[in-house]
Amino acid sequence: MKIRKNAAFAVLGAMLVTITASPVLAETAKSAATAAAKYNTTDTTIGALMDDPASKAVLVKHVPGMANNPQMDMARSMTLRQVQGYASDMLTDDVLAAIDKDLAALPAK
């Protein structure tokens, strides 16, 4: 009887460890995914993209002249997806998808 009780407690303990560890494991996986894709066109401001030489090079590659545009100072606090509403001819869905792909390929720092 005592062995069964101990076995039951061991199983219960293992279940509790699994249940309580699950949110931690999920958060760790989320953090790893975020670290892998540090920048994107939806959440990252243009200012952050322009301040990092690697991500700035991605912008210059896909949107030549953007870095030297005098209106960029006004848009630093916006994301590329937000600016798309004002420059949909230049920032098409295809262009933003290509930028996201190249940003995701940048090495993590």
**Is the domain of 72 the same as that of 24?**
no
**Is the domain of 32 the same as that of 74?**
no
**Is the domain of 98 the same as that of 51?**
yes
**Is the domain of 7 the same as that of 25?**
yes
Half-sphere exposure of 88 (CA within 13 A, CB side): 1
Structural domains of the chain, count: 2
Nearest-angstrom CA–CA distance, 2 and 71: 76
Nearest-angstrom CA–CA distance, 77 and 65: 19
pLDDT tens for the chain, 109 residues: list them: 555 555 554 544 444 444 445 555 555 544 444 445 699 999 999 999 999 999 999 999 999 988 888 888 899 999 999 999 998 899 999 999 999 999 999 988 7
Domain limits for position 23? 1-36
Nearest-angstrom CA–CA distance, 102 and 72: 21
Is residue 109 one of the residues assigned to a domain? Answer: no
pTM, to two decimals: 0.66
- Structure tokens given for 106: 């940048």
